[in-house]
Chains A and B, each alone.
Chain A
Amino acid sequence: MTLLFWKKKIGDDQQQLKEAYFTASQGQLIRARFKKNRSAVVAGWALIIMILAGFFAPFLSPYSPNIAGRDKEYENGPPQFPKFWDENGFSIRPFLYTTERERSIKTNFRWVLTENREKRRYLKLFVEDWEYSFIDIDWDLPGKMFDVNFKALTFKTHLFGMDKGGIHLFGTDGTGKDIFSRTLHAVYTSLAVGTLGVLISFVLALVIGGVAGYFGGWIDSILQMITDAIRTVPPIPLFMALAAFMPDTWSAETRFFFIASILGLIGWPTLARRIRTHLLTERSQEYVLAAELCGAPAGHIIRKHLLPSFTSYIIVDLMITFPYVVRTETALSFIGLGLTDPVNSLGSLMQNVSKADVLLNYQWYFIPVLFFIAFVLAFVFVGDGLRDAADPYSHTKQ
């Protein structure tokens, strides 16, 4: 009897599970399918962590990434890892040794760092140091009219620091700037360039692709010609011309804004084409015709049928486009056409790596490169995972 009851209970549970599947909306199905894709989920978490790290970069980094935060006593210094114990005993607070540097005839007149293992320095949490603002808009665009200077959410607290001297988790570069702080800020910059670039190209793509796909006919033909014309513009010569055009007097922020806009302006054709194709296929679906036969106005069809079928694809498309924008910015900065050194972007950090000296003596310069690879990979994996999950017929096809 109990066994029978047990069996029935299992049956009920299965019934409930089945009903949950049958009444699951597209969004829920997409989420469920995405969660099954383990690499995409891992990439998703990595991406969230990197985005948060980029956004809270000033709080997480102990030093200013600019020349103001340089450590004059620790130039080209290797990464430092806090320790809990050594031959002199255990400490609850993690510590570092004091470093001393010396340049004399003995060291062939090069700066040489030595550790003094007797003198410990201790790690501190929530230290007060340089000031930063989460909202810091300081545009110095050409002309006086558009200049903006606005700061809000200003703080001085940082997650960690040392009681005396500096801590450099990823080491320092030739001027003593902290590579850890620079990397976090670079992730932020790349995110910002990517977001701005993708937003600009997305708006253009949505308007141009949307009009071409919805109206079709000769409007479509003309817009396709324009799209093709834009696609033929070779990016490298264009950027060389632009680099020559950008005056040296422009501030880092202005250059940044300019580069992001240009990336957006040349990045839209691919996206526009995809939006047009989505629209064309969705429009010819029979359920759209069914709605038209009920006398549904264009607004209803766009709102109820085209847009919902669209949003998942759009999100996927944006996710896939994002790393391309970041990559283009990085590549441009790397060859010196985009953002240059005082600005912390992944590209400008990678530019520092291109010296034989780095390869031989200062390998920690490569750490930002790893971040760049992880960043792009995470986006690609999440984008691919979303794309597979968003296809409503992916598992019926097989």
Chain B
Amino acid sequence: MSLLTVNNLTLQFDTDEGRITAVDDVSFEVNSGGVLGLVGESGSGKTVTAKSIMRLNSSNAVYAPESRLLLKLDDGDVDILSLKHKRDMQVVRGGSVSMIFQEPMASFAPAITIGDQMVEQLVLHKKITKKKASDISIEMLDRVGISDADKRFKQYAFELSGGMRQRAMIAMALSTRPKLLIADEPTTALDVTIQAQVIDLMKDLVTEFGMGIIFITHDLGVIAQTADRVAVMYLGRIVEQGTVRDVIKNPAHPYTLGLLDALPKLEDMDAPLTPVPGDIPSPLERPSGCVFHTRCALAEPRCSQSIPKMVALDQQHTVACFVEAEKRGAA
């Protein structure tokens, strides 16, 4: 079994305007040592999906009964959605699964030194002495490329630059030796030269620690350079899934194709930029059938009537589109 198996995850939010579907029947797997990229634009539900693995969604979130989030731990499997109590969540939140965020400043308490914060969470999750914990923390800061690690250890988050902060955050997330790391747009707020450094660092860390990573981003370039598998999300659904090479070089879903055509590429400066027509529908007016049919050039009457299933094009590559699946003889 894979490290994390997500099956039929459906999640709605209760709001004043009614129930809003944020994640709709999403299934995927993450293997140890593998990087799964979740790509999508704003409102695609990629962050909500990741947060449900940590059970960090707000209290008005309603999970559908058939949703399963199975995490493989050393002492057996656990269904994260069946955990009722806060103390049960401890196994997931601190020890086995870690998360890093887009804005590292928001994740460090402003009035506590970085070192104290790292030690605190280590002592909490690993039941080790403070001395041991600070040794591990300094070693980890050093490992993520922070020079003068023992000096930085005593500093506050605001004293570090943006790139350093993101490194410190990665160090903190990895110091508990998690089995699964969720990275939510970890490079979006960074400048491109710093982004390149952080991407390199994360690649090295996967080979060294062998954990599974869910890498969330809206940037297909970043995904191409980091992930080995990718799932493309649109309005809470996964529309295409496969190896990075398959999805980017041989995209099957019209939305993936549209994203790639809209993306300015340095390799081909003369290629025209083709926007995906129309706007993303408001979450209150979720399209029936295939969620993409309102903006799709290939849309047929059936696309607005029934929801296309994920169809395997080959062993690794699946797509949820009636038209493309038939065209490729997979239906």
Contact = CB atoms under 8 A, between A and B. Distances in A.
Interface of A: 36, 395, 398
Contacts of A36: 16
A36 B17 CA distance: 11
A165 to B, nearest CB: 55
Nearest to B60: A398
Contact of A395 (B13, B16, B58): B16
Interface string B56-100: 001000000000000000000000000000000000000000000
Contacts of A395: 15-17
B324 to A, nearest CB: 31
B288 to A, nearest CB: 14
A36 B16 CA distance: 9
A398 B61 CA distance: 12
Contacts of B17: 395
A389 to B, nearest CB: 12
Q: Which 7 A-B pairs have the closest CB atoms?
A: A395-B16, A36-B16, A398-B15, A398-B58, A395-B15, A395-B17, A398-B13
A398 B15 CA distance: 9
Interface size class of B (residues with CB under 8 A): under 10
A10 to B, nearest CB: 14
Interface in B1-58: 13, 15-17, 58
Interface of B: 13, 15-17, 58
B14 to A, nearest CB: 11
7 contacts: A36-B16, A395-B15, A395-B16, A395-B17, A398-B13, A398-B15, A398-B58
A23 to B, nearest CB: 16
A38 to B, nearest CB: 12
Contacts of B13: 398
Pick the most buried of B13, B15, B16: most chain A CB atoms within 10 A of its CB: B16
Contacts of B58: 398
A197 B15 CA distance: 40
Contacts of A398: 13, 15, 58
Nearest to B15: A398
A36 B15 CA distance: 13
A16 to B, nearest CB: 15
A283 B15 CA distance: 32
Nearest to A14: B285
Contacts of B15: 395, 398
Nearest to A395: B16
A4 B54 CA distance: 46
Contacts of B16: 36, 395
B65 to A, nearest CB: 24
A104 to B, nearest CB: 69
A30 B15 CA distance: 18
B160 to A, nearest CB: 26
B90 to A, nearest CB: 27
B56 to A, nearest CB: 14
A398 B17 CA distance: 12
